[in-house]
Structure 1
Amino acid sequence: MVVPAEEEPTEAAVTEPIIEPMPVDPVADPQPEVQPEQPIQVTISETTYFVKKGDTLYSIARKFGVAVEPIYQINNLNAQSKLEIGREIRVPIPKEHLYTVKPGDTAWRISKRYGMTVEILCEINNLNDPSKLSVGQVLILSCPVTDIKDERF
């Protein structure tokens, strides 16, 4: 019996399918919505001050230990605004300038501790009698409560 010779296998031409990229409509990357910068608000309180002869917004700001700009803003004023004697001015007070009266405190001790005069302490807190402080009463200082000037008091 004759066995036919095996034919050599022939390689079939293998063609890879050509993959062409599909056109894609460009999609814009979503941009985060930009929020306008908001000023950082550290004010938790405000007080009113009545303009006295010789006062300027700068001198009022110095009495309270605050910047002039917030006083301009809260009162809708600008550098050209005139201050009339007796005009009520709102003054924003940072929380760091608030002091709570403790047992044994006096206006004199508080003013010495924080480098103020008793007169300024009374003026910015509308105190008629500095000897009548109450424990728990909140006072405005012209400097942050962490800014102790004299530890002896």
Structure 2
Amino acid sequence: MAARSPDPSPARRNENDTDGRASARGGNTRVKLADMSTKTVHVTHYTVQSGNTLTAIAGMFGTTIEQLVKWNGIPNPDRIDAGQRLIVNESPTPHDTFYTVKSGDTLTAIARKYGTTIERLVQLNGIPDPNRIDVGQRLIVAKSAPAQA
């Protein structure tokens, strides 16, 4: 059986490329094509409510103003608008945001504070009676979702 010689075609392999990535040539210009790998991150979103500040939102979700500005490309941290959807947490693994029920809390108030619905809180926490929550009860108020980085 005869040995097969390598394909000299530059479209299939460029002899000057040793890193295994594809390259393209055009005239005297040589351009490296970037690796097209994707990375999944998990993000949690929050919709800004009237009267919110980045300081308050950062406190609610255990992050910093600087991180909120970075994740959302906010040009002026002193100006956010009601209805604006913000990334409030980003990590390589799935994560939940929790709230511990205090005296006087209702699901309505908690849902409003975290920009969600009573129905969603009931679903996330398996609450059998939405009219009854207990002081000290730890509730999931937000879940992350995968996003391409």
TM-score normalised according to structure 2 size: 0.41
TM-score normalised according to structure 1 size: 0.40
Tell me which protein shows more strand as a share of its residues. 2
Structure possessing the higher relative contact order (Cα contacts under 8 Å, 6 or more residues apart): 2
Return the index of the structure with the highest Cα Rg: 1
